[in-house]
Structure 1
Amino acid sequence: MSGIALSSVTLDPATGLLREAARPENMRQPDYAEKYDWDTLFYDVYRAGQHIVFQGPPFLNLLEPLKASAPFKGRFGFPRFAARHFGQKKRGEIWLRSAAGDVAIDGPLGRYAIKVQPDMAHLFAGRRVITTLSKDNDLRWIADWVRFYARIHGADGVLFYDNGSTAYDMAELQTTLDEAAGGAFPAIAVSWPFRYGPQGGMAGAVNGVEADWDSDFCQTGSLQHARHRFLRRARSVLNVDVDEMVLDDGGNQSIFAATEASRSGFIKFPGRWIGTHADPPVARATCRHADFVHRDLPAEPVCPPKYCLVPGRADRLSDSWSVHNLFGAAANRRLSRRFSYRHMRGITNSWKEDRWAADGTDRAALPRDAALEAAFSAAGLSRSS
């Protein structure tokens, strides 16, 4: 399929307006300003049924100027209720009831002529879809990730967001997805070239104080975009990264099938680390998922959860799809005891930390994960050579 177009809007510098910082100055790392998204007004403007969705990072101080601009002025609240704003949990969306194919923002933020991109929910209607955001993950890893979920869990749709990779272009990525899908189902690459945002947690700590996850808008934005423009009519959706392999620890049920059969239409599950030990040893430059089947140290922390859901049944419009949570949903509080994912330390380009760093442990003595090893074999995934 040809490239997916976005109607992105960047603030006009002539207005002198920027998004305000989401984090107090005393908690900003030295590179906060470089990584923060100050000027993306909309990631995309697209149709979702009877509405046009103007989707971006949280609008913050830009919301009131937007409300005072055409085509929104006078459309919020009584008596028309034609426009609605959603701004919770790193989310910025205005839903406008309109049949227009082109719109113009005109007001305090400047003037912007915008083409409304088409609703593409039909592409994945009735399908079991895996979706993720990725940057510079090796193409062989991406292909193995697609094949694993297709063969082990019955995935029959892939929606893959690329966050500005430089190791390959979008055409190469799309070819890889097409080959992995083998023509059996849609596999679509979307260029998502926006600033990822400053880190939170201990990775973003300032003077030893843990930072809030309040400024990383990009990945939540990609999930909300996937949700509304592409996946509203999907049968079920699994949100996992290229280095995350979901398994049924109580049998061989598909995570999609289990989610669809669940009362809430939502399953949230934890992760556990799989280390970088391989027998025989492998090189970083050529390694593949199936090289790694040894669990990491028992003392390693449990990985943050991921989830699978049925769109429209598990989530209300006011709920927010985010990286590790379905914010606003009652079922988000429950963690599955049956499903978990294996977080592959070796499948990384070390953008955040060097996962291959030696720690002196005799990793050959670490237990093998028999279920993971069997799943790799069943999926026909090869080891590097």
Structure 2
Amino acid sequence: MTPPVVLSSARSEIHREPPRPPHLRDAAYADQFDRDTLFYDVFRADRHVVFQGPPFLNLLAELRRSAPLRGRFGFPRFAARHYGQKKRGEIWLRSEADSFAFDGPLGAFEIDVQPDMAHLFAGRRVVTTLSKDNDLRWIADWMRFYREIHGADGVLVYDNGSSAYSLGELQAAMAAEAGADMIALAVPWPFPYGPQGGMAGAVDGVETDWDSDFCQTGSLQHARFRFLREARSVLNVDVDELVLGESGRSIFAATEYSPAGFVKFPGLWIGTHAPQGVSRATCRHADFVYRDTPVALACPPKWCVVPNRGDRRGDSWSVHNLFGAKANATLDSRFAYRHMRAISNSWKEDRWARADAGGSALPRDDALAEAFAAAGMTRGASADGAPALGGG
């Protein structure tokens, strides 16, 4: 990747202005807001160069006044186009250049264009996520589940500045689990996640818009255009989220055969109760097969998409939605992901605080237990007689 272009007082006194009104910014907002990243990456996508970052907001006018973008927007050249909806920050420029010299209100600097990597995952069924400090055993189990249950043969993980291991260690662990059948890639994504919205970012009890958390949407849009344009289908789920379909159907196959090339599905919680007794330090996905209470507690939806059937101009990949797509309004009840409460380092809340709530009286998720067995993920003998997965 291109080293991120970061604004600084040495380069410019201009920074990204927050979109959230001052009276709705909580005490943590200023420290969490990404005011300085101009571009996450600059890369080729077929005949275009994509300058991608958080939403440019007030910086867009300064970019338009800077070489090499000056005079490229609109009549008479129409060489550059800006996409800024739903937390996107992208400028697409028709150009064959391999590097650019920027000069304007934001400073003077050189940028090398990174190569188009869409060929790497071409024709593959890919699962992608943003991750930070998730245990390597969890990431390996997550990969195994999607390979064995859904037929995934590509994995793309954006590492959001993990401190528990290096990017190289993450890549090695992913490669070991992938073997010869999967393409696995870890991408550095060391950007501020951004301030929370909803009640998590509430001020005096007033919910706030999700208007300032740019990092994860940015990673999805980057994945979409730099790596996954030619993928057969793409599933967006976190490391603690496992999708199951009726009659064991693959989410990738269902998406590929769907009229819209897009399937959006709900989720439900799996609790921390485990009859055999496990700890945070050694737990695995397959230790947990009991629904959480209340059973009706829903999770925000996730989705799977065929990339080349989307509209670059009209839709945007985001965490829980494909904004702009007609099918985004519909949930497919044939699929639901299991949100594993215990598979977390509790960065947002203490997920283990509800440990064993309800105990063995909780409903057992038999479909999930069967999937773990089919994937060889249960402790003890695996489904095919291979050595069992050990505690991490």
Name the structure 2 match of 1:256: 252
> TM-score with structure 2 length normalisation?
0.95
In structure 2, give the amino acid aligned to 1:76.
Answer: F
How many Å separate the matches in 1 of 2:159 and 2:356? 35
The match for 2:287 among 282, 285, 291 is 291
The match for 1:305 among 290, 296, 301 is 301
1:233-261 deviation per Cα after TM superposition (whole angstroms, max 9, x unaligned): 0000000000000000x211110001000
How much does 1:85 deviate?
Answer: 0.0
The match for 1:382 among 344, 360, 378 is 378
Mapped contact 2:129–2:156 kept (Cα < 8 A): yes
Mapped contact 2:139–2:174 kept (Cα < 8 A): yes
In structure 2, give the amino acid aligned to 1:283.
Answer: S
How many Å separate the matches in 1 of 2:25 and 2:296? 28
- 2:322 matches 1:334: no
The match for 2:22 among 21, 25, 28 is 25
Mapped contact 1:86–1:318 kept (Cα < 8 A): no
Name the structure 2 match of 1:221: 218
Mapped contact 1:7–1:116 kept (Cα < 8 A): no
Mapped contact 1:7–1:115 kept (Cα < 8 A): no
Name the structure 1 match of 2:95: 98
How many Å separate the matches in 1 of 2:327 and 2:277? 42
The match for 1:119 among 116, 120, 144 is 116
Identify which range, 158-167 or 351-360, moves more after superposition: 351-360
How much does 1:57 deviate?
Answer: 0.2
How many Å separate the matches in 2 of 1:362 and 1:305? 25
Name the structure 1 match of 2:382: none
Aligned length: 380
In structure 2, give the amino acid aligned to 1:122.
Answer: H
How much does 1:171 deviate?
Answer: 0.9
- 2:353 matches 1:352: no
Name the structure 2 match of 1:367: 363
SS of aligned partner of 1:176: helix
Name the structure 1 match of 2:172: 175
Name the structure 2 match of 1:62: 59
Mapped contact 1:7–1:46 kept (Cα < 8 A): no
Name the structure 1 match of 2:5: 9
1:190-223 deviation per Cα after TM superposition (whole angstroms, max 9, x unaligned): 0100000011111111111111100000000000
The match for 1:235 among 210, 232, 237 is 232
Identify which range, 163-172 or 7-16, moves more after superposition: 7-16
Seen in structure 2, the aligned counterparts of structure 1 residues 252 and 359 have a Cα distance that, compared at 3 Å, is: closer
The match for 1:270 among 261, 266, 272 is 266
- 2:32 matches 1:35: yes
How much does 1:183 deviate?
Answer: 2.2
The match for 1:154 among 147, 151, 156 is 151
How many Å separate the matches in 2 of 1:359 and 1:232? 41
How many Å separate the matches in 1 of 2:206 and 2:300? 20
How many Å separate the matches in 1 of 2:125 and 2:293? 33
The match for 2:188 among 188, 191, 207 is 191
How much does 1:315 deviate?
Answer: 3.7
Seen in structure 2, the aligned counterparts of structure 1 residues 106 and 382 have a Cα distance that, compared at 3 Å, is: same
How much does 1:362 deviate?
Answer: 2.5
How much does 1:299 deviate?
Answer: 5.0
How many Å separate the matches in 2 of 1:55 and 1:270? 30
Identify which range, 322-331 or 103-112, moves more after superposition: 103-112
SS of aligned partner of 2:87: coil
How many Å separate the matches in 2 of 1:28 and 1:300? 32
How much does 1:347 deviate?
Answer: 0.2
- 2:137 matches 1:137: no
Name the structure 1 match of 2:162: 165
Identity of aligned residues (%): 69
How much does 1:12 deviate?
Answer: 3.1
Mapped contact 1:12–1:110 kept (Cα < 8 A): no
How many Å separate the matches in 1 of 2:288 and 2:147? 20
In structure 1, give the amino acid aligned to 2:260.
Answer: S
Unaligned runs of 5+ in 2: 380-389
How many Å separate the matches in 2 of 1:193 and 1:303? 27
1:282-330 deviation per Cα after TM superposition (whole angstroms, max 9, x unaligned): 1001000000000011355210000000002144433100000000110
How much does 1:104 deviate?
Answer: 1.4
Mapped contact 1:7–1:44 kept (Cα < 8 A): yes
> TM-score with structure 1 length normalisation?
0.97
Mapped contact 2:273–2:357 kept (Cα < 8 A): no
How many Å separate the matches in 1 of 2:242 and 2:355? 24
